[in-house]
């Protein structure tokens, strides 16, 4: 529209609207001004008004444009997709490239939710570029099997030469896309003498890489199904005109190019993309500064990029893939001959970008040592470099093993699978169910974190024998033996306890309490009446086993006594408290009240106790005394024989069935005649036994005893 036409239209509108009345009133107050003069003044007034309107529109239109343009993909509020490097926001988020890296490209502390960020130098243009594609390389070729190759170059087309590239991955901590995994990429090129055509690969294989100082070299690594490709073109004026997304599915008859298009929920230039777009991009529509780092393009001054020499893109991976977003580990920006999917590739810049947060896991068994019969649990702590811990833990425990040599093979002793952990900020903990070992030995725990989604990290396990993951289960046994199972009244005994631990590497250390109960009249284990105790007898240290012995016990009465012993370990590593049972083998003591032969004599006739004549009469007598506290029943005989001829009467009183009261004695006698020649003998032998009130039978002390004489005269 011409100025005259615009002027006429504005003037017509001005007057038609009736808003010229005040103006006319003003003119009418000016004395004798001619009508021509009035027209000139009116014309200049209208022209001034038009100028003011146009200037106002010129100032306002850019603000209107920005007001209705996306400032971040999906309006996430995480990153400034504004076509420049400088961070404008005064808050931590949204951020921009200039806040993520310092002047040397070193990554600065990431804002909340940040997972990873990398800055890559691929310039300057004046030096040999070691990372350019060989002729014929295409995005539709597989990386492996020589599909992608690199070579050095000194003559890259200026508009295709990458100077720097950068990447940023973040999980939105708040806002409308809270929890979404977002990836941003940006690059600078050397010149703007042509549209910018580029590709951005988000690769899962962290080993994809190539650099060559001479000749063609094949890339390492390979495509993984799910790799993402962004193909874009931006004009020399800085408008993004093409933006397509693809996902690697593998080369086959149905997908000969190896990718499928996933652009259906994407935008193009963020200035015109809807807030539902999962991808949008920006280029710079005017010169921008590259500070804090240095850059030199073809035509501008230092640290300045001309229009359309900068490109950035934002991708909402969660919006595209939900919870099944691939785990990115590598990014590659490439320049290409056109936005066609099969365009020839030129330059590239490669760098790391980890979108799945790196997890850590540590575990601690509730007690490293328990005694057999006890129980433990295992607790896993899962941490993430960023994002939310959410998933399950599989706990497994292996054993028992005789030695402390980590072994986690075969069927576990117990498994606790699918124990929930999270969701929540890092770190989060989960605890296994209770494990009660059925045997002693060493056990080894493992724990595996299974994330709910890639955004919650990757699967990670503790190694077998990890710190705090070894459990020692100790079995304790105790056996005791009294020094003598039978003693006579007045004698003494002691008791010895042997404590044994399994595994044998465990240390016996602690005390033993000895107890002896009795007396009772029958051999029926009874531990109710304590006769004596010997508490706190030290035992150990001893590897595997050790012994302790009680003090000396002197019974105050005959009968049956029963010993017990209790081991008290110094700590759980020394086994558990354990006792013998009443009547255990080797723990019964019998105290007997044994009678004694206190006298054995004889008389001889006719020669005054001289039994050496060839013939004569001998009267034998002996006394048995009961020193015990209860009566005993005697039995036995007095037997006279020898080489001489003997004839005896009856033993009076009879030993058999004789009840000898406590503290008393009894004398027994028998008369015999004998005849013989010189050298022949006469022998008298006492065979006496007793039975006490406990039906214990034994030989009378001193029995058997024999008195022999030899005939010397005839």
CATH number of the domain that 633 lies in? 2.60.40
To 10 degrees, the CA torsion angle through 461, 466, 467, 470? Answer: 120
- Asked, for residue 304, whether it belongs to a domain, the answer is yes
Using 50, 70 and 90 to split pLDDT, how confident is the model at 514?
very high
Q: What are phi and psi of 343, to 5 degrees?
A: -65, 155
Do 540 and 617 share a domain, yes or no?
no
Q: pLDDT (tens digit, 9 = 90+) per residue, 638-660?
A: 999 999 999 999 999 999 999 99
CA of residue 248 relative to chain centroid, distance: 36
Do 211 and 330 share a domain, yes or no?
yes
- Asked, for residue 14, whether it belongs to a domain, the answer is no
| Cβ count within 10 A of residue 634 | 22
* Strand boundaries in 65-195, DSSP class E: 114-121, 129-133, 149-153, 162-171, 181-189
pLDDT(714) > 70 = no
pLDDT of residue 610: 61
CA–CA–CA angle 91, 93, 98 (5° rounding): 90
Which among 352, 385, 402 is the end of a domain? 352
SS (H, E, C) 349-400: EEEECCCCCCEEEEEEECCCEEECCCCECEEEEEEECCCEEEEEEEEEEEEE
Which among 416, 438, 467 is the end of a domain? 467
- Asked, for residue 682, whether it belongs to a domain, the answer is yes
| Cβ count within 10 A of residue 104 | 10
Do 139 and 271 share a domain, yes or no?
yes
- Say which DSSP state 85 is in: S
- Asked, for residue 112, whether it belongs to a domain, the answer is yes
- Asked, for residue 267, whether it belongs to a domain, the answer is yes
State the pTM of this model: 0.59
- Asked, for residue 387, whether it belongs to a domain, the answer is yes
Which alpha helices (DSSP H) does 17-116 contain, by range?
21-28, 35-68, 97-100
pLDDT(30) > 80 = no
Using 50, 70 and 90 to split pLDDT, how confident is the model at 609?
low
Do 244 and 95 share a domain, yes or no?
yes
- Say which DSSP state 146 is in: T
- Asked, for residue 11, whether it belongs to a domain, the answer is no
Q: Structural domain of residue 441, as residue ranges?
A: 359-467
User: Which residue has better confidence, 49 or 484?
Assistant: 484
Q: pLDDT (tens digit, 9 = 90+) per residue, 445-473?
A: 999 999 988 778 889 999 999 999 999 99
Do 545 and 649 share a domain, yes or no?
no
- Asked, for residue 10, whether it belongs to a domain, the answer is no
Do 41 and 128 share a domain, yes or no?
no
Do 213 and 87 share a domain, yes or no?
yes
Which among 303, 323, 352 is the end of a domain? 352
- The C-alpha atoms of residue 121 and residue 100 are separated, in whole angstroms, by 15
Look at the chain and report how many structural domains it folds into. Answer: 5
């Amino acid at each position: 529209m011409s100025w005259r036409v615009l002027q006429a239209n504005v003037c017509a509108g001005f007057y038609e609207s009736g808003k010229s009345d005040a103006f006319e009133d003003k003119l009418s107050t000016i004395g004798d001004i001619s009508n021509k003069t009035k027209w000139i003044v009116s014309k200049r007034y209208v022209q001034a008004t038009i100028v003011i309107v146009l200037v106002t529109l010129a100032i306002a239109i850019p603000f209107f444009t920005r007001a209705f343009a996306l400032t971040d993909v999906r309006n996430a509020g995480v990153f400034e997709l504004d076509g420049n490097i400088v961070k404008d926001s005064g808050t931590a988020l949204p951020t921009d490239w200039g806040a993520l890296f310092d002047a040397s490209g070193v990554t600065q502390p990431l804002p909340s939710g940040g997972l990873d960020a990398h800055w890559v130098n691929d310039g300057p243009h004046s030096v040999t570029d070691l990372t350019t594609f060989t002729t014929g390389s295409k995005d539709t070729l597989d990386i492996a099997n020589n599909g992608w190759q690199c070579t050095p170059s000194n003559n890259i087309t200026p508009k295709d030469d990458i100077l720097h590239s950068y990447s940023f991955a973040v999980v939105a901590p708040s806002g409308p896309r809270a929890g979404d995994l977002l990836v941003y990429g940006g690059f600078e090129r050397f010149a703007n003498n042509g549209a910018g055509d580029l590709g951005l690969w988000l690769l899962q294989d962290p080993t994809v890489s190539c650099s060559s100082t001479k000749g063609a070299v094949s890339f390492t690594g390979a495509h993984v199904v799910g790799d993402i490709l962004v193909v874009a073109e931006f004009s020399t004026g800085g408008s993004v005109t093409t933006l397509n997304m693809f996902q690697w599915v593998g080369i086959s008859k149905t997908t000969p190019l190896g990718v499928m298009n996933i652009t259906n929920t994407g935008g193009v230039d963020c200035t015109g993309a809807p807030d539902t777009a999962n991808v949008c991009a920006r280029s710079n529509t005017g010169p921008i500064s590259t500070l804090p780092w240095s850059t030199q393009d073809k035509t501008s001054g230092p640290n300045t990029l001309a229009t359309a020499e900068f490109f950035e893109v934002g991708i909402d991976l969660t919006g595209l893939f939900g919870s099944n977003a691939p785990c990115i580990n590598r990014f590659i920006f490439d320049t290409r001959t056109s936005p066609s999917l099969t365009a020839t590739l030129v330059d590239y810049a490669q760098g790391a970008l980890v979108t799945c947060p790196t997890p850590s896991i540590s575990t601690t068994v509730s007690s490293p040592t328990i005694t057999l019969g006890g129980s433990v649990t295992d607790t896993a702590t899962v941490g993430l470099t960023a994002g939310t811990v959410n998933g399950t833990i599989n706990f497994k425990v292996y054993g028992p093993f005789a030695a402390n040599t980590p072994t986690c093979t075969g069927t576990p002793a117990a498994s606790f699978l699918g124990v929930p952990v999270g969701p929540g900020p890092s770190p989060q903990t989960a605890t296994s169910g209770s494990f009660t070992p059925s045997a002693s030995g060493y056990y080894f725990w493992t724990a595996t974190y299974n994330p709910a989604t890639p955004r919650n990290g990757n699967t990670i396990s503790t190694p077998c024998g990890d710190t705090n993951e070894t459990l020692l289960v100790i079995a304790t046994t105790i056996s005791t033996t009294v020094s003598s199972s039978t003693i006579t009244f007045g004698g003494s005994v002691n008791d010895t306890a042997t404590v044994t631990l399994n595994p044998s590497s465990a240390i016996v250390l602690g005390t033993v309490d000895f107890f002896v109960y009795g007396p009772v009249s029958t051999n029926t284990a009874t531990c109710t009446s304590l006769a004596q105790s010997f508490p706190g007898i030290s035992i150990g240290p001893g590897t595997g086993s050790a012994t302790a012995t009680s003090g000396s016990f002197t019974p105050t009465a005959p009968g049956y006594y029963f010993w017990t012993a209790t081991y008290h370990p110094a700590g759980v590593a020394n086994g558990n408290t354990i006792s013998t049972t009443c009547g255990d083998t080797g723990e019964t003591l019998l105290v007997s009240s044994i009678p004694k032969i206190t006298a054995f004599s004889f008389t001889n006739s006719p020669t005054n106790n001289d039994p050496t004549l060839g013939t004569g009469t001998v009267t034998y007598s002996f006394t048995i005394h009961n020193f015990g506290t209860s009566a005993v029943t005697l039995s036995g005989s007095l037997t006279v024989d020898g080489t001489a001829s003997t004839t005896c009467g009856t033993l009076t009183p009879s030993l058999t069935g004789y009840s000898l009261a406590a503290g008393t004695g009894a004398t027994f006698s028998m008369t015999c005649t004998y005849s013989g020649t010189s050298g022949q003998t006469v022998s008298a032998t006492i065979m006496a036994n007793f039975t006490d009130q406990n039906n214990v039978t034994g030989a009378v002390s001193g029995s058997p005893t024999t008195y022999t004489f030899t005939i010397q005269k005839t």
